[in-house]
């Protein structure tokens, strides 16, 4: 019967598929029950926190901080500081590095940039010490965000590009999108909006194959902001409205304040002041809930501009002064410069020239302070270009290395498969040879047995032939007494000769003729008796 054989390559694929299927079933068995369980909420984690100790408490604190760091950074900061102290007490370096990074991010959100840099650098040093690449990338990212808030754009870009390089190297797709977004934000802070849009479009391409609603919302808002700065207000409005609609469909309201801010600024430039004011007030309330001081300063400046454009310079002065005080307190030099410029313009419209000139000088001094104490924008731009080229080259090299590694791995698999096929072929040949040798031995034994049987039969045949030859040929016999002359010339009785030369034996009797000649009387009686018996 012909059996269908699976080709070697197909067999390898089927084997791999079988292993993957087994792994999948195992994961299903292990993971279905936890997956069906409801994910704990912030409230449930807070309720369980007092009863937790040691590692369980550290894990719960980290989970809480990660959920609250964007929506409620002040509360998250307190939890992160507790987690940092507890991780140091427990001697857990991994958790300590995580809480240092979380603390730095919370400080950047609340406007305490000096502490954010301090904790960020401590986190980076510890992550390098324990050689945790994922946490190293996060530390670079956190430092980049802080430097961006402070206006140190080239430093921020260097940190974000290093973070992107590590995440690309580790194939961390979601984290890589975060780094791409941060780089885009940097470019629109540098007023290089087309460059920013190019990075946002890279994110949109990745999200097309791997959707992520929150990243999509964030990217649409950033795209809209860049379009707004380029004066493409209708395109900006469309992006912001789509983002707001997506936020309405989601339970996560992290980007709600940012969406209202962008919509408010866009409506302001479109001279739709009622809608603009409504959106900006909603953004101010949301940033207040989250205690995001930098965001509040942005909204206050946006409200000041709205009042200025709508013909209420007095209201603009109030909002701009509030924004300037907050920006000075959190050392947000970029927003402080915006506030001073708005105050100068507002006082000029009111005819208060002296105060307008005073705030204009403050605006110029702030801009100069940004240029001198931090870095000149043109120098920063050149520095950023050099850093970008270097990092892009590193990323391209990394991609090439990944392709080469993939090809080497594929070649290794092919070589292994070829070796396995060759080994299988050799084993088959050896098995065939063993079976053939065994068959030859069996045939040899059968032949030897047949030869032995043939020899025995030949011996028997020779014996029979000898016997036949013994009684064959001409025998000299006496015509009278019937004696036979033997080979030695002696005459022997016929029965003796035949008994000697064959297996025959003799028994003696007398024939009727000889009975009449030798014993006539007896012959008569025998005949009479037979005749009487017949009657």
pLDDT in tens, 313-345: 999 999 999 999 998 888 888 888 899 999 999
497 against 227, higher pLDDT: 227
CA 92 to chain centroid, in Å, comes to 28
pLDDT at 4 over 50: no
> How does residue 523 score in pLDDT terms, banded at 50, 70 and 90?
confident
pLDDT of residue 535: 52
Q: Which range among 5-9, 104-108, 178-182, 417-421 shows the weakest confidence by mean pLDDT? A: 5-9
d(CA 469, CA 483): 20
Q: Which range among 165-169, 269-273, 384-388, 411-415 shows the weakest confidence by mean pLDDT? A: 384-388
Q: Is 107 helix (H, G, I), strand (E, B) or coil?
A: helix
pLDDT above 90 covers a percentage of the chain that reads 23
pLDDT of residue 7: 41
d(CA 165, CA 157): 12
| Phi then psi dihedrals of residue 484, to 5 deg | -115, 140
pLDDT in tens, 57-104: 888 888 888 888 877 888 888 999 998 899 998 898 988 999 999 999
Question: By C-alpha distance, which of 39, 41, 53, 123 is closest to 82?
Answer: 53
With contact defined as beta carbons under 8 Å apart, do 341 and 301 qualify? no
Contacts of the segment 342-351: beta carbons below 8 A, 24+ positions apart: 342/301, 342/304, 342/305, 342/308, 342/316, 343/317, 345/308, 345/313, 345/316, 346/304, 346/307, 346/308, 346/313, 346/314, 346/316, 346/317, 346/320, 347/313, 347/317, 349/308, 349/313, 350/313, 350/314, 350/317
Residues facing 491 on adjacent strands? 485
With contact defined as beta carbons under 8 Å apart, do 82 and 61 qualify? yes
CB-hemisphere CA count at 13 Å for 268?
Answer: 25
pLDDT at 19 over 80: no
Structure tokens at 188: 């629109």
d(CA 483, CA 479): 8
DSSP assignment string, 219-245? HHHHHHHHHHHTT-HHHHHHHHHHHHH
The DSSP letter of residue 477 is B
Question: By C-alpha distance, which of 184, 181, 266, 276 is closest to 231?
Answer: 266
With contact defined as beta carbons under 8 Å apart, do 219 and 203 qualify? yes
pLDDT at 33 over 70: no
pLDDT of residue 27: 41
* Cα dihedral 294, 300, 306, 309 sign: negative
d(CA 149, CA 301): 16
pLDDT at 10 over 60: no
Q: Give me the helices (H) in 37-152, please.
A: 42-48, 54-68, 73-90, 93-110, 113-130, 133-150
> How does residue 274 score in pLDDT terms, banded at 50, 70 and 90?
very high
pLDDT of residue 411: 77
Q: Which range among 20-34, 50-64, 490-504 shows the weakest confidence by mean pLDDT? A: 20-34
pLDDT of residue 237: 92
pLDDT at 307 over 90: yes
pLDDT at 238 over 50: yes
User: What does the buried/exposed string (b/e) look like for 209-227 if buried means 16 or more CB atoms within 10 Å of the residue's CB?
Assistant: eeeeeebbbbbbbbbbbbb
* Cα dihedral 200, 201, 204, 206 sign: negative
User: What does the buried/exposed string (b/e) look like for 109-126 if buried means 16 or more CB atoms within 10 Å of the residue's CB?
Assistant: bbbbbebbbbbbbbbbeb
The rounded mean pLDDT for the chain is 81
pLDDT of residue 399: 63
pLDDT of residue 464: 74
Residues facing 477 on adjacent strands? 484
pLDDT at 149 over 90: no
CATH superfamily of 41-170: Tetratricopeptide repeat domain (1.25.40.10)
pLDDT of residue 38: 56
pLDDT of residue 8: 41
DSSP assignment string, 390-403? HHHHHHHHHHHHHH
pLDDT of residue 268: 93
Please report, in angstroms and rounded to a whole number, the separation of the first and last CA atoms in the chain: 82
pLDDT of residue 276: 92
Average pLDDT for 122-127: 92
pLDDT of residue 142: 92
Structure tokens at 115: 């502490």
**Top-ranked range on mean pLDDT: pick from 64-68, 275-279, 331-335, 527-531:** 275-279
Average pLDDT for 302-313: 93
Name the residue ranges covered by the structural domains of the chain: 41-170
d(CA 253, CA 247): 6
pLDDT of residue 17: 42
pLDDT at 380 over 70: no
pLDDT at 30 over 90: no
Average pLDDT for 472-484: 76
């Amino acid at each position: 019967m012909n059996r269908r054989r699976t080709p070697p390559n197909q067999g390898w694929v089927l084997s791999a598929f079988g292993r993957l299927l087994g792994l999948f079933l195992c994961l299903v068995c292990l993971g279905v029950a936890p997956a069906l369980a409801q994910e704990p909420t912030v409230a449930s984690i807070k309720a369980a926190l007092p009863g937790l100790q040691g590692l369980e408490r550290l894990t719960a604190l980290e989970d809480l901080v990660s959920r609250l760091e964007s929506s409620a950074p002040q509360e998250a900061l307190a939890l992160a500081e507790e987690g940092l102290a507890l991780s140091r007490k427990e001697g857990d370096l991994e958790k300590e590095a995580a809480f240092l990074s979380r603390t730095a991010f919370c400080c950047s959100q609340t406007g305490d940039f000096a502490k954010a840099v301090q904790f960020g650098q401590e986190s980076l040093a510890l992550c390098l010490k324990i050689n945790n690449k994922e946490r190293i990338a996060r530390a670079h990212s956190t430092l980049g965000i802080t430097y961006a808030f402070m206006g140190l754009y080239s430093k921020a870009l260097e940190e974000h590009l290093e973070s992107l390089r590590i995440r690309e190297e580790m194939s961390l797709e979601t984290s890589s999108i975060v780094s791409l977004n941060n780089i885009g934000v940097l470019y629109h802070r540098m007023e290089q909006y087309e460059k920013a849009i190019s990075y946002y479009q890279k994110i949109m391409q990745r999200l097309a194959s791997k959707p992520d609603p929150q990243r999509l919302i964030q990217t649409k808002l950033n795209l809209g902001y860049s379009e707004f700065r380029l004066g493409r207000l209708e395109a900006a409005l469309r992006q912001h409205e789509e983002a707001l609609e997506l936020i309405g469909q989601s339970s996560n309201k992290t980007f709600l304040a940012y969406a209202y801010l962008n919509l408010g600024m866009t409506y302001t430039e479109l001279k739709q002041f009622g809608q603009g004011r409504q959106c900006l007030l909603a953004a101010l309330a949301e940033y207040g809930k989250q205690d995001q001081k930098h965001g509040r300063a942005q909204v206050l400046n946006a409200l000041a501009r709205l009042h200025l454009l709508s013909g209420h310079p007095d209201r603009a002065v109030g909002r701009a002064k509030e924004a300037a005080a907050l920006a000075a307190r959190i050392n947000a030099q970029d927003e402080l410069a915006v506030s001073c410029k708005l105050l100068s313009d507002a006082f000029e419209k009111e005819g208060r020239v002296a105060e307008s000139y005073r705030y204009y000088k403050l605006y110029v001094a702030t801009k100069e302070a940004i240029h001198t104490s931090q870095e000149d924008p043109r120098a920063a731009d050149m520095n950023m270009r050099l850093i970008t080229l270097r990092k892009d080259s590193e990323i391209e090299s990394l991609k090439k290395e990944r392709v080469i590694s993939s090809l080497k791995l594929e070649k290794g698999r092919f070589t292994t498969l070829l070796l396995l096929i060759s080994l299988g072929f050799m084993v088959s040949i050896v098995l065939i040879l063993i079976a053939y040798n065994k068959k030859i031995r069996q045939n040899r034994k059968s032949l030897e047995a047949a030869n032995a049987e043939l020899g025995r039969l030949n011996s028997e045949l020779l014996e029979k032939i000898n016997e036949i030859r013994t009684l064959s040929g001409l025998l000299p016999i006496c015509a009278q007494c019937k004696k036979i002359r033997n080979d030695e010339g002696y005459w022997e009785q016929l029965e003796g000769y035949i008994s000697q030369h064959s297996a025959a034996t003799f028994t003696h009797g007398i024939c009727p003729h000889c009975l009449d000649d030798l014993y006539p009387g007896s012959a008569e009686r025998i005949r009479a008796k037979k005749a009487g018996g017949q009657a």
